């Protein structure tokens, strides 16, 4: 039996809610489309619905990435320039790896201030197969 659902979207729990809202507002160049005080904000764009929330008091550990490893779930962003996107992530308080070649273009791994992984993908690299 499948799960009945009306919608599926990505949500990030952050104990430093305002920092996360500022980071993603800068990354997307816009304020959240929905905001519920200092506990929830949502960005709704074509191809992405991202919610940012402050965990309930005492529940932050359930949403924190362990320091010895990164979470397996990644937010993938197709970008025109991996270098420019990685630099912007750094300017906004995150971090990014140097760009590297893949079979489908170029990528860089980036992390928001809470340690959530962003994969920056630039299509059309020299090893990209013809469409």
- Average pLDDT value for the chain: 84
Nearest alpha-carbon partner for 12 in 64, 78, 89:
64
State the CATH number of the domain containing residue 40: 3.30.720.120
Q: Starting from the edge strand earliest in sequence, which strands make up the sheet with 48-53, in order?
A: 10-13, 48-53, 40-45, 34-36
User: In 17-81, which residue ranges form alpha helices assigned H by DSSP?
Assistant: 17-28
Q: Which two tokens stand for residue 24?
A: 């993603």
pLDDT at 61 over 60: no
Region 7-20: what's the mean pLDDT?
88
pLDDT value at residue 60: 53
Instruction: Residue 30: give the domain boundaries.
Output: 8-60
* Residue 67 domain flag: no
Q: Tell me whether residue 3 is in a domain.
A: no
What is the predicted pLDDT for the residue at 5? 76
Name the domain count of the chain: 2
pLDDT at 68 over 90: no
Is residue 90 pLDDT above 50, yes or no? Answer: yes
> Do 82 and 119 have their domain in common?
yes
Q: What percent of the chain has pLDDT over 70?
A: 82
**∠ at Cα 77 (30, 91), nearest 5°?**
60
Q: Calculate mean pLDDT across residues 90-110.
A: 92
Confidence band of 131 (pLDDT split at 50, 70, 90)? very low
Please name which of 122, 121, 110 lies closest in space to residue 23, comparing C-alpha atoms.
110
66 lies in some domain: no
* Mean pLDDT of all residues in 44-63: 79
Rounded CA gap, 116 and 64, in Å? 9
């Amino acid at each position: 039996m499948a799960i009945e659902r009306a919608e599926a979207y990505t949500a990030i729990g952050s104990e430093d809610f305002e920092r996360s809202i500022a980071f993603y507002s800068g990354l997307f160049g816009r304020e959240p489309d929905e905001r519920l005080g200092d506990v929830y904000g949502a960005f709704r764009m074509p191809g992405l619905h991202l919610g940012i929330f402050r965990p309930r008091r005492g529940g932050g550990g359930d949403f924190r990435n362990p320091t010895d490893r990164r979470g397996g779930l990644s937010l993938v962003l197709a970008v025109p320039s991996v270098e420019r996107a990685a630099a912007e992530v750094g300017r906004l308080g995150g971090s990014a790896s140097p760009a590297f070649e893949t079979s489908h273009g170029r990528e860089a791994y980036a992390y928001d201030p809470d340690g959530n992984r962003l994969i920056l993908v630039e299509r059309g690299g020299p090893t990209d197969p013809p469409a």
